Structure formats: C-alpha cells, structure tokens
Amino acid sequence: YLMAQVQDLARADARYNAKLIRFLAFHLTPYVAQGRFKTKREYVHHLNQLEIRTLRGEKVRSQEEAAIANYLAINGVEYAYEAYYKRETATALHSQYRPDFYLPEEDLYLEHFAIDEHGKTPPFIDQQQYSEGIKWKRDLHNQYGTRLIETYSHEFRDGSVFEALETRLRDAGVTLNPISLAELLAQTADQKADAHPFAKLVGNFVNLLKSSAKDWASLRGAARVAEDGGRSLAFLDLVEPVFTRYNATMRAQNEVDFNDMINEAARALDAGQYRSPYLYILVDEFQDISLSRANMLRALLRSRPEAGVFCVGDDWQAIFRFTGSDISLTSAFDQQFGQARTVALDLTFRFNDKISAFASAFVMKNEAQVKKTIRTLTRAEGPAVTLVQHGKDSNEAAIETCLAAIGARAEAGATVYMLGRYGFNQPKLFSEFQRRHPKLRLEYHTAHGSKGKEADYALVLDVSEGKHGFPSLMDDDPLLSLVLPTREAFPHAEERRLFYVAVTRARHHTYILAPIHAPSVFVREMLEKQGTDYEFEHLVTAQASKDLAASAPCPTCDGRLLPRASKGGEPYYQCTSQPYCEERANVCETCRRAPMVRQQQGHRCADAACGAQAQTCPRCGIGQLTLRSGRKGAFWGCSNYQRGLCGYTQNGAASR
C-alpha cells in the first residue's frame, strides 16, 4: 500500500520522482567510506552486515561500486560487472584481467580505484601493491588500445563522483537515457512490490514514527546532524509526503490504525475527554512496551491519581526493539513512573536448574541487565545444554543425531521445538524428521515466535556467523534510529536476550547447533568460557572434524579458508567472506591436504602434523614465494600473481 502511495506521488510530481530515483540508486543502503576502517577485518565485517547488491541484484565488492552500477542502470547504460577483458592477459605473473565494468555498446571499460586525491589507499590496503595494480591496468589498456575511464573514492567523499562520471561518459560518446521509475522497479521484478527494500523501510519508519510519538521538527533536527552524507534528510523528504497522504486517506475513510488508537486515547485522557474508572491497572509483558503505550499508561494514571499500576515484565526477554519497544522503560522504571516496589518472581517451572544456570550466566554478561537469581522446581543430573558443531553441509545429519538422542531418553509424545533465527532456517527435511521419529512431536518456530511457549526439548539451529546468523548481523537501517529507542551500548544486547529466550524454551535439554567453519560470536564465547562460566556438553560430529582439518581461520577477517577448485580443476582455498575478503591460500605442496596460511612470520601449513613453511613475499607481505618455471628457468614468484596483485619474482637459485 505505501509503495503504491510512493509511486502515485512520483507520477504526480517530477521533483519527487527525481528524488526517489536518486535515493533508490545511491542511498538505499547506508554508505560508510572505506577510509574510516583501520583494518580489513573491520571493513569485511561491515560489508557482511550489508551484503551489498546493486539495483539489478548483483553482489559487488563495495558500496562505491554498487553506486556506480546503479548510476549506469538509472541512466540506461548497459554494463557487465567484472566481465573478462576481451584480450588474453593471463601470464606467469597475472591472471586474466577482469575490469570493474564493461560497457559493451560503447566498447568502453570503467575502473573504480579506492584512492584519495593524493593517490593514497585506505589504511587496510597495501599502498605499493595497489599502485602497481593501477599502473598495470592502465598500461594494459594502452598496449591494446582499449578505452578506459576511471572514478575514485575521493569523488564519493566530496560528492562530485556522479557529475564527474557523467562528464567522462559523455566525453567517451556514451548517451545517457534516464529511465523511468517504473523501468527502475521492473529491474527488480524478482522482488514483490511490497517486499521492495524501500517499501519495507518506509513501512517500518511510518509505524515506528507513530509508536515513538516524535514530530517532524525533531526528526529533521536529528537528520541535519547525522553524518550520513545527507541520506537522512533525503529520506525524510520522501517519506513525509507519504505519511501526510496516508493519514489524510485514513481520515477521509474514517479509519485509524493501531498506533493512532493508542495516541488518540492518550490525547483524549490528557484533554479531559475521558476519566479512567480503574483503580488498579495491570500491564503484562511490560518489557515489550513502547513509548506511545507508556504515554497512554501515564495518561491513565494522571486521569485518576489515586490509581495504582502493577507491571509484570522481564528485561531478560526484551526482544522487540525493532517494533518500538524500549527496554529503558523497564530497567529504569522508577525514573519513568515514580517510586515503585519490586517483587521478584524468581521461581520457574519452565526449565531445570542446569538450563537456568547456563542461560542466566549468558544473559548477565551484559551488566546493564537487571541482576537476578532464578530458582527452579526441577534439577537435572549433568549438563542440560549440548553444543553440537557440525560440518559445512551436514546440518541435517546433526539434527538427526540430536533427535535420535532425544528419542532414546524421551517418553512417547515428547515435544521438540526446532528454533531458528528466521523462518527460512526451518530444515528442508522437517517432514521427513517427523516421519522418522513418530514418537516425538516436532514443531518449528522462529526464536521470536517461540517466546511464551515451552517444549520438552529444544534445538537451536544455525547458530552461525553472518548477516543471517545468530546473532544476526542484519542491523536495523540507521534511518530507523531516528524513530527507534536509543541503541544499547553492549554488543548484540538484544540478540543475546533472544538467544536466552531460545535456550530456555526446553524443560529438559537444549541442543545448540553450529557449523564448525563459521561459529557465531556466541558459540566462540561459549567455547572460551566452558568450564568456568558455562557448563555444557560439547559434541563435534565426524564431518565437522573432517571439515575443520580441511580448513583454517582466515588471517584477514573472521571467515575461514575452505577448499575450492579453479575452472581448470586446480585446488586452492578461499575465504568464506568473499567477495569482500579476497584472501586465498595455496594447497600445501608438502602434504597436499591443507592450506598454507599467512602468518606474521611466513606461511605455515594449517595441518600441524605437516608443519611445512614458506617465505612470505617481501613486497606485498601477503603472498608466499613458490617455485615456478619460466622461459629462463626456475624462479621464485609471489603466489598473488595468480590474482594479478603482485608481480614479485627472484632468481630460482636465490635463498628463500
């Protein structure tokens, strides 16, 4: 519905249409300059949170490349991303060249270089190596007489990039044919209109705005000081007319939405149009309350000063900030509602003492959470939490292992919850699992959807690293911070509470399943603190052990190096965070079963039983020197020659 309102406004107002197209092309995802990141690890983590894609759905290596692709798309310029150069360039020192963009209709190449106005790279990019790469590319185009235009990161920072790009394109004979909004949306036809990222963003913003009880003046004040290159102000210019039209439509139809009912009720109470008859007000699930609902509660109390309020809530289960819930209304209740007495409901029948001890220790790592001790009615013999680390492609086998263990101990009719961070985490073989284990009653829920429910056993699935992992790295869009409660300082604070909710759905035993090649920060914390802060069983499946032996931690980011094969069948290792992390490793030439991983001092085989070593390239500091054969005999060359990143060589007779 809201996207239809947006399109109606665009059709009626050319200026609105131009602003919308520009926002969709350049501001749909928040931009952070590469220069703000000190290490490649920080930068890759940032990109993994965003999963940068163009308007056409292409996964590209940077936000700047995405913006250039989108500029070409909205101006009707056909392009190919990282297509192979039309001349053969593969040599002993360079792989086949793949320029950033190729414009086939004009036979024109476009390269985007991550350098400032002085030719300097971001801190995490090797200056000499990158400069040599730029020179090699320019020389190649000169050698073959192919046309090349360039853009630079500093043009993004000073806002001149698109004006400069337009000039360079026109000078190269490229005709710009700006497309319509309908054509732009058609390029993302694989997404339903209501599921378009902008539609979701507008819908969430409008809902949260009403829930936050903020006004447009305060929003624009916050947007003016936001360090986002004018993104917040550009968004408000688009969403305010939608908000105005939405409200006008509801008034004309004599309708209200849920948030309006709350806000209008509070206004009626404060205006004296209604006096509350209630002497006692009970609020359940108080940790989920939003500011607008808290305002209505205050208005009820002001309407009848002698009334009392009793609120039941658990700040450990506050997991709905994305809907406007504000945990500070619970954790700082006295400051919000005046002097109060706290009654601890500290006895639970839901789970046993071992689950309680594990989950309580986990959630209270955040010192901002209210400290409490949970007593349980039941006690367990031995650990009641099991961490199961499985192989990259053996999630289903790990689930089967857990269900078999449950079936061996559970009574007929025992309930088992499979819990995922998202709906798509539901196992593909869910129905098959139920057929195999008729003794058990299986249900799938998201972690959010499981709140308030309970089962005999629980399997928390896919506790992995990544955008859709647990904790999820799919952060709220910074634009929503204009209308959301203030974010907590503790990392993954709400995701930690959500994990607590998932773990405590089981009465008897909880299984936590995590891929061994990409364990989440929660799993890494568990393993680091096992036996001190956390008591749990640890099971590593046979496939996980095999996968672990065949992989290694990435020396650049938080990913892992996994085995791959080139088009020609040549084995190598690549980081799971590609294309954002370009770390690769050669197969150890000694044992031929593990990667040669870059370390501070040289390269070392990841297989400790092998222990082979190699000298790190003295020029780029990343590749390793490997023995090669050339026209003049044997020589030592940097392994990065395969990617066209470093051409260092030395005589084969020289010592390594």
pLDDT tens track for 175-203: 998 887 777 766 654 444 445 677 788 88
Instruction: Say how far apart CA 111 and CA 450 lie, in whole Å.
Output: 49
What pLDDT shows up at residue 196?
Answer: 65
Q: Compute, in degrees rounded to 10, the torsion defined by CA atoms 53, 57, 58, 64.
A: -30
- The owner of tokens 């239809």 is 4
- 94 pLDDT band, cuts 50/70/90, is low
- DSSP letter at 648? -
Instruction: Say how far apart CA 513 and CA 386 lie, in whole Å.
Output: 8
Residue 208: count other Cβ atoms within 10 Å of its Cβ. 24
Q: Compute, in degrees rounded to 10, the torsion defined by CA atoms 617, 117, 74, 239.
A: 110
pLDDT in tens, 139-175: 999 999 999 999 999 888 777 888 899 999 999 999 9
Estimate to the nearest angstrom the gap between the alpha carbon of 517 and the chain centroid: 18
Per-residue tokens: 457: 């056993």
Region of 338 please: left (phi>0), alpha (psi -120 to 50) or beta: left
What pLDDT shows up at residue 628?
Answer: 79
Which residue in 297, 328, 56, 277 sits closest to 179, CA to CA? 56
What pLDDT shows up at residue 185?
Answer: 67
- pLDDT score of 69 more than 80: yes
Mean pLDDT across 197-217: 85
Mean pLDDT over the full length of the chain: 86
Instruction: Say how far apart CA 152 and CA 94 lie, in whole Å.
Output: 23
DSSP for 191-214 reads S-GGGSHHHHHHHHHHHHHHHHT-
Helix runs in 410-456, H state only: 430-436
Angstrom distances, CA of residue 383 to CA of 263, 357, 511? 48, 10, 11
Beta-strand (E) ranges in 97-251? Answer: 101-103, 108-113, 147-152
- DSSP letter at 624? B
**CB-count burial class (<10 Å; 0-12, 13-18, 19+) for 67:** buried
Residue 87: count other Cβ atoms within 10 Å of its Cβ. 13
Per-residue tokens: 220: 């624009």
- pLDDT score of 656 more than 80: no
Angstrom distances, CA of residue 350 to CA of 75, 459, 495, 628? 59, 16, 21, 65
Contact 80, 102 (CB under 8 A): yes
pLDDT in tens, 577-632: 888 888 888 888 888 878 888 887 788 888 888 888 888 887 766 677 877 777 77
Instruction: Say how far apart CA 227 and CA 79 lie, in whole Å.
Output: 32
Region of 602 please: left (phi>0), alpha (psi -120 to 50) or beta: left
What pLDDT shows up at residue 187?
Answer: 62
Count helices and strands (H / E) in the chain. Answer: 21, 24
The winner for highest mean pLDDT among 126-130, 259-263, 437-441 is 437-441
Instruction: Say how far apart CA 264 and CA 245 lie, in whole Å.
Output: 19
Per-residue tokens: 542: 């046979």
Residue 312: count other Cβ atoms within 10 Å of its Cβ. 12
C-alpha angle with apex 593: 587 to 599, nearest 5 degrees? 50
Contact 165, 101 (CB under 8 A): no
Instruction: Say how far apart CA 125 and CA 134 lie, in whole Å.
Output: 13
DSSP for 526-540 reads HHHHBTTTB--EEEE
Angstrom distances, CA of residue 603 to CA of 245, 285, 442, 564, 621? 62, 55, 48, 19, 10
Instruction: Say how far apart CA 360 and CA 190 lie, in whole Å.
Output: 44
What pLDDT shows up at residue 192?
Answer: 46
- Specify which residues 539 forms β-bridges with: 388
